[in-house]
């Protein structure tokens, strides 16, 4: 075991390396590119015995990845944002092939307007595809989650591809000390991929992704795949226990931070949860009973673990770093439906924050606790709120007035 | 053309690899060609399919193929072929697949895919030197959706989306030249109605390393509006009138493998056109001499350019 100061992208590449991913179909996109550059360099230097093929698009890349996994090799790919959406047809398709591989998504907000910084609308667009989703908050977790993802996806009870998500810039380009697990121990945790009957070989033909005639057959296969996804909850528990025994790091489906006696908890995913942890520590130091709940697994959604973690809590501030236009926060919707059958359920307050990489400040975390406390007192949750300051609005108005002047100048020229 | 193999029609395989009973239309010209491909390529194949008529060959739980099959999507069958090829190579290299268990990777798409949505992934696969076979069954339109025009539709043909008085106004895209411009191992035009020429070309190309691409002329009774029994006749007339040149590209050279008779002795194009309902508006209620002449002139000009 060695310790290295590496970026989230570097950690993802290390995950693929330690998992002995044999095949890496690739296509560059910011902020993911460092992952494939790192792997390409290792291949060129002979440090790893993998093969990389650069495709002409993410649509092709995901097709290639699924086809290679279907043929029987351990496959790794990475993308971001527009790339994930460009490949979305195949995201759904390859999940139906039941061919496991790992796809790292480095979250980046979606166009339009175009930006490079992160939010979770890209990865949540794949929410209903059949891909499992593991969301990371630290560089260490990125590396470890890639290993867990292969164990999870390749399990015969699951057999599904897995997305490991990390936030662009905040994790992708942030260096943190990361323990690089011993490769022999990784081999013990993650034996070579056994494709079972899902592979192509002369003399033993199979047909993949074929047409079914009618809703009855279609329903059967879709629901079977849904049940396989649900099986991943139990498999994740088993795998993470074994991971902890081997490597000393614990990854539950839902991370609970100082929730024991908490009255108010933050509910959010991704790297911004580390900002919430800092706020929790500071609030705890002045005697406020607050905590954090961070789902690592988004698909399958660990409903039971969440229900048991929120039992007895009075209020939850749900922070969505995404926006379902015309509805609101996606995580809020997911949580509300998960808790609906609970008696004595906590009050849920919805906040939209961190869109396009916009920071969430310490003061905003404090304010969210205050708003949630008030909702607990009154028993009435306020409408969803966008985290956006007066200063930002002033700056925005300033930019708009410049834009108007520029537009008039442009008209004048014509 | 290399010697041996198929000297006459009697040399073609008498046992057939593609099973019967598929839901493909009676008289389908595409199926005629695919049968011969299957017979000559054998069972050690994996067909990588894109959305189109032939997607209906394999309907759960049946397949007419003796080998494997994977349906990908309309745009990315060559990328699927890339994944399968690379994975097979890795498995053989690492001793997990015996060399005799290897498969030929065969992309099977229609013209809608080959001439349009799938052109980018095909161009990239050829560019990467992917070792695969591409069969485009060209029925000159989006057949599986009810025959709308595609970039492969010939001038003046009526389709579900070109019903004007003079049919489709644009001209068929020259996919052969586009593919050949990539300098792959092999490109050929073929027709199921010319089985000997087709079989010879498959035999010629199948063991070449790199990309081997075929555009198979595929008369479509339901889209072109002719009696299913006439499918072979339509195919043969397309070759005889010079409408469908049979040719191959290899080592930088293009060779025509079956040259029709010279101008004057050659059958006029209308012998081919008049069999098909999609061109009926050129003959009735009145003959459209202008358009018929334009089509004839185009074909004549093509063959004048062939030395």
Kindly provide the ipTM of the predicted complex, given to two decimals. Answer: 0.96
DSSP A211: B
- B79 and A22: CB-CB below 8 Å? no
Average pLDDT over residues B244-270: 97
Q: Which residues of A touch B68 (CB under 8 A)?
A: 200, 205-208
Same domain, A281 and A370: yes
Same domain, A40 and A61: yes
Please name every residue paired with A24 in a beta bridge, in sequence order, or none if there are none.
A52
Task: Please check whether residue B107 is in contact with residue B79, taking contact to mean a CB–CB distance below 8 angstroms.
Answer: no
pLDDT tens, residue by residue, A166-205 = 999 999 999 999 999 999 999 999 999 999 988 999 999 9
- A210 and B87: CB-CB below 8 Å? no
Same domain, A61 and A121: yes
Same domain, A237 and A290: no
Distance from CA of B71 to the nearest CA of A (A): 5
Output the pLDDT for position B5: 80
Task: Please check whether residue B114 is in contact with residue B136, taking contact to mean a CB–CB distance below 8 angstroms.
Answer: yes
Same domain, A215 and A259: no
**This prediction's pTM:** 0.97
DSSP A214: S
Output the pLDDT for position B2: 45
Between A69, A202, A211, which is nearest B102 by CB? Answer: A202
- B44 and A63: CB-CB below 8 Å? no
User: For residue A398, is it within any domain?
Assistant: no
SS3 string of chain B?
CCCCCCCCHHHCCCCCCCCCCCCCCCCCHHHHHHHHHHHHHCCCEEEEECCCHHHHHCECCECCCCCEEEECCCCCHHHHHHHHHHHHHHHHHCCCCCHHHCCEEEEEEEHHHHHHHCHHHHHHHHHCCCCEEEEEEECCCEHHHCCECCCCCCCCCCECCECCCCCCCCCCCCHHHHHHCCCCCEEEEEECCCHHHHHHHHHHHCCCCCEEEEEEECCCHHHHHCCHHHHHHHHHHHHHCCCCCEEEEECCEEEEEECCCCCCCCCCCHHHHCCCHHHHHHCCCCCCHHHHHHHHHHHHHHHHCCC
Count CA atoms within 13 Å of residue A177 on its CB side.
3
Same domain, A236 and A123: yes
In the predicted model, is pLDDT for residue B1 greater than 70? Answer: no
Domain end position, chosen among A247, A272, A305: A247
Same domain, A14 and A74: yes
Same domain, A219 and A81: yes
Average pLDDT over residues B120-139: 98
Average pLDDT over residues A219-225: 98
Q: Is the dihedral of CA B13, B15, B20, B26 positive or negative?
A: positive
CATH number, domain of A329, equals 3.40.50.920
Predicted confidence band of residue A414 (pLDDT cuts 50, 70, 90): low
What percentage of chain A carries pLDDT values higher than 70? 99
For all residues of chain B together, what is the average pLDDT? 96
User: For residue A310, is it within any domain?
Assistant: yes
Chain-centre distance for alpha carbon A371: 28
Same domain, A236 and A290: no
Best interface-test mutation with B: which of A83, A86, A209, A219 has the largest number of B CBs within 10 A? A209
Q: Which residues of B touch A56 (CB under 8 A)?
A: 120-121, 123-124
A64 to chain B, any CB pair closer than 8 A? The answer is yes
Same domain, A369 and A232: no
> Alpha-carbon distance B212 to B129, whole Å?
10
For residue B269 the two structure tokens come to 């194009």
The structure tokens 């108010």 sit at: A264
DSSP A384: P
Cβ-Cβ contacts under 8 Å for B62 (sequence gap 6 or more): B21
Q: Which domain holds residue A128?
A: 2-197+210-247
For chain A, counts of helices (H) and of strands (E): 14, 16
Pick the range with the lowest mean pLDDT from A68-72, A359-363, B84-88, B303-307. B303-307
Which H or E run contains A3?
strand A2-6
In the predicted model, is pLDDT for residue B3 greater than 60? Answer: no
Which H or E run contains A133?
strand A132-135
User: For residue A239, is it within any domain?
Assistant: yes
What percentage of chain B carries pLDDT values higher than 90? 97
User: For residue A137, is it within any domain?
Assistant: yes
Output the pLDDT for position A62: 98
pLDDT tens, residue by residue, B94-128 = 999 999 999 999 999 999 999 999 999 999 999 99
- CATH numeric code, B9-304: 3.40.50.970
Task: Please check whether residue A120 is in contact with residue A128, taking contact to mean a CB–CB distance below 8 angstroms.
Answer: no
Based on the structure, what is the number of domains in chain A?
2
pLDDT tens, residue by residue, A109-156 = 999 999 999 999 999 999 999 999 999 999 999 999 999 999 999 999
In the predicted model, is pLDDT for residue A84 greater than 90? Answer: yes
Distance from CA of B165 to the nearest CA of A (A): 38
pLDDT tens, residue by residue, B184-235 = 999 999 999 999 999 999 999 999 999 999 999 999 999 999 999 999 999 9
Same domain, A192 and A282: no
Q: In what order do the strands lie in the sheet with B186-191?
A: A207-208, B68-71, B45-49, B104-110, B132-138, B211-217, B186-191, B246-250, B253-258
Predicted confidence band of residue A412 (pLDDT cuts 50, 70, 90): confident
Between B60, B79, B89, which is nearest A64 by CB? Answer: B79
User: For residue A25, is it within any domain?
Assistant: yes
Same domain, A225 and A276: no
Between B46, B72, B76, which is nearest A200 by CB? Answer: B46
User: For residue A99, is it within any domain?
Assistant: yes
CA neighbor of A320 nearest in space, from A385, A275, A234: A385
Average pLDDT over residues B249-263: 97
User: For residue A273, is it within any domain?
Assistant: yes
Q: In what order do the strands lie in the sheet with A102-107?
A: A76-79, A102-107, A162-167, A132-135, A297-299
A248: left (phi over 0), alpha (psi -120 to 50) or beta: left
The structure tokens 């998992």 sit at: A19
In the predicted model, is pLDDT for residue B15 greater than 90? Answer: no
In the predicted model, is pLDDT for residue B4 greater than 80? Answer: no
């Amino acid at each position: 075991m060695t310790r290295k100061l590496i970026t989230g992208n570097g950690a993802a590449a290390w995950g693929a390396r330690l998992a002995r991913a044999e095949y890496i179909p690739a296509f560059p996109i910011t902020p993911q590119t460092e992952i494939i550059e790192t792997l390409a360099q290792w291949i060129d230097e002979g440090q790893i015995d993998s093969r990389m093929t650069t495709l002409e698009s993410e649509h092709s890349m995901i097709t290639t990845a699924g086809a290679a996994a279907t043929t029987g090799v351990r496959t790794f790919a990475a993308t971001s944002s527009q790339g994930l959406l460009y490949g979305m047809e195949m995201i759904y398709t390859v999940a139906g092939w039941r061919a496991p591989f790992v796809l790292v998504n480095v979250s980046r907000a979606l166009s339009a307007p175009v930006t490079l910084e992160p939010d979770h609308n890209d990865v949540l667009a794949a929410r209903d595809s059949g891909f499992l989703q593991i969301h990371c908050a630290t560089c260490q977790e990125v590396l470890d989650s890639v290993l867990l993802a292969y164990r999870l996806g390749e399990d015969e009870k699951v057999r599904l591809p897995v997305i490991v998500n990390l936030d662009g810039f905040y994790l992708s380009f942030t260096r943190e000390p990361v323990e690089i697990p011993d490769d022999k121990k990784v081999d013990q945790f993650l034996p070579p991929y056994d494709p079972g009957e899902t592979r192509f070989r002369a003399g033993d033909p199979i047909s993949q992704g074929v047409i079914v005639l009618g809703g009855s057959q279609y329903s059967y296969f879709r629901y079977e795949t849904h049940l396989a996804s649900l099986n991943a909850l139990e498999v994740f528990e088993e795998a993470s226990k074994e991971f902890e025994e081997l490597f000393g790091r614990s990854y539950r489906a839902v991370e609970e931070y100082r929730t024991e006696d908490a009255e108010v908890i933050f509910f959010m995913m991704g790297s911004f949860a580390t900002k919430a942890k800092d706020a929790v520590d500071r609030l705890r130091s002045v005697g406020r009973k607050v905590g954090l709940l961070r789902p690592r697994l988004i698909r399958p959604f660990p409903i039971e673990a969440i229900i048991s973690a929120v039992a007895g809590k009075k209020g939850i501030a749900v922070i969505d770093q995404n926006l379902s236009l015309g509805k609101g926060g996606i995580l809020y919707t997911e949580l509300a439906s998960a808790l609906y059958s609970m008696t004595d359920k906590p009050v849920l307050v919805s906040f939209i924050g961190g869109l396009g990489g916009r920071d969430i400040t310490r003061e905003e975390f404090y304010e969210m606790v205050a708003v949630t406390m008030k909702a607990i007192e009154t028993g009435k949750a306020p409408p969803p709120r966008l985290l956006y300051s007066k200063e930002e609005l002033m700056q925005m108005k300033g930019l708009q007035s410049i834009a108007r002047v520029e537009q008039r100048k442009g008209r004048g020229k014509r | 053309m290399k010697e041996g193999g198929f000297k006459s029609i009697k040399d073609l395989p008498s046992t057939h690899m593609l099973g019967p009973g598929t839901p493909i239309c009676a008289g389908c010209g595409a199926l005629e060609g695919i049968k011969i491909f299957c017979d000559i390529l054998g069972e050690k194949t994996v067909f990588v399919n894109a959305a189109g008529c032939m997607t209906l060959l394999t309907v759960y739980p049946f397949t007419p193929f003796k080998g494997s099959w994977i349906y990908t999507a309309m745009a990315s069958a060559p990328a699927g072929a890339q994944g399968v090829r690379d994975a097979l190579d890795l498995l053989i290299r690492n001793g997990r697949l015996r060399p005799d268990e290897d498969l030929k990777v065969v992309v099977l798409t229609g013209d809608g895919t080959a001439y349009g949505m799938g052109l980018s992934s095909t161009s990239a696969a050829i560019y990467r030197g992917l070792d695969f076979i591409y069969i485009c069954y060209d029925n000159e339109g989006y057949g599986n959706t009810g025959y709308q025009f595609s970039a492969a539709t010939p001038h003046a043909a009526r389709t579900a989306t070109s019903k004007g008085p003079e049919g489709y106004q644009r001209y068929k895209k020259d996919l052969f030249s586009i593919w050949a411009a990539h300098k792959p191992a092999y490109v050929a035009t073929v027709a199921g109605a010319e089985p000997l020429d087709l079989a010879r070309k498959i035999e010629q190309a199948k063991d070449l390393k790199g990309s081997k691409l075929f555009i198979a002329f595929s008369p479509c009774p339901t889209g072109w509006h002719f009696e299913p029994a006439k499918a072979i006749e339509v195919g043969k007339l397309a070759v005889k009138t010079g409408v469908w040149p049979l040719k191959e590209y290899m080592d930088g050279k293009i060779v025509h493998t079956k040259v029709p008779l010279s101008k004057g002795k050659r059958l006029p194009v209308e012998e081919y056109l008049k069999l098909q309902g999609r061109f009926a508006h050129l003959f009735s209620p009145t003959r459209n001499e202008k358009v018929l002449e334009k089509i004839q002139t185009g074909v004549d000009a093509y063959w004048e350019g062939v030395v």
